Amino acid sequence: MSISLDQSDKKILNLIQKDATLTHQDIAEQTGVSATSVWRRIKNLEEVGVIRGQVALLEPKKIGMQVCALISLRLVRHGEDTRIEFEDFIASRAEVMECYAVVGNYDYMLVVMVPDVEAYEIFLSRHLLSHPLVASSNSSFTLRRVKYTTAHSLI
C-alpha cells in the first residue's frame, strides 16, 4: 500500500536520501518548512514505513570486496515450504547482498559480493550449489559499476 506524499514530504525524502546526516534545521532551510514540521514529518514517515532506517553506505573495493557476481538460479521444486527454506538460507549468507524472486527461466537472481574469485568459488560450490533446493545456476561477473544508487527519485 502506498501513501500520499505532498511536495514537502517529497523534498524531505529527496534530501535525506542524499544525506541522512542533515539536521532538521538544514532540511527546514532547504524545504521552506519549519524544523518542527520536518521532525514531525520524518517521524510520521518512519511510523508508516516509508523510511525503513538510516545506514552508512560503504565502498565495496575499499573494504576488500573486489568481486561482484550476478547469479541466476533455479530451484528443484516449488512451493511455499521450499520458498521459505530457500529464502531463509539466502538471508543467512553474508555474501548475498541482494536477492530477487523473478519470473522467466530462473527463480531467483542474486547479487553476491566477495573479496576474490576463490571466495566466490567456495560460496558457489560449498554453499549455494550444495544446497538441496538449488537445481542449477548461471553466474556473470561485473566488470565495473556504471550506476549505483539507493535513492528513489521523488518529484
| Segment 10-26 mean pLDDT | 96
| Segment 66-84 mean pLDDT | 97
Bridge-based pairing state of the strands 108-114 and 96-101 = antiparallel
pLDDT of residue 1: 66
- Domain with residue 73: its CATH number is 3.30.70.920
pLDDT digits (tens, 9 = 90+) for 35-54: 999 999 999 999 999 999 99
Q: How many domains does the structure of the chain reveal? A: 2
pLDDT of residue 2: 75
Give yes or no: residues 27 and 98 share one domain.
Answer: no
Domain of 77, in residue numbers: 60-141
H-helix or E-strand spanning residue 114: strand 108-114
Residue 67 located in a structural domain: yes
Q: Give start and end residues of each alpha helix (H) in the chain.
A: 7-18, 24-31, 35-47, 80-91, 117-122
Residue 154 located in a structural domain: no
Give yes or no: residues 112 and 68 share one domain.
Answer: yes
Give yes or no: residues 42 and 68 share one domain.
Answer: no
Give yes or no: residues 90 and 41 share one domain.
Answer: no
Nearest to 55, CA basis, from 20, 14, 91, 11 = 20
Give yes or no: residues 90 and 135 share one domain.
Answer: yes
pLDDT digits (tens, 9 = 90+) for 94-151: 999 999 999 999 999 999 999 999 999 999 999 999 999 999 999 999 999 999 999 9
Q: How far is CA 126 from CA 60, 66, 100, 121, 123, in A?
A: 23, 20, 21, 8, 6
Bridge-based pairing state of the strands 134-141 and 108-114 = unpaired
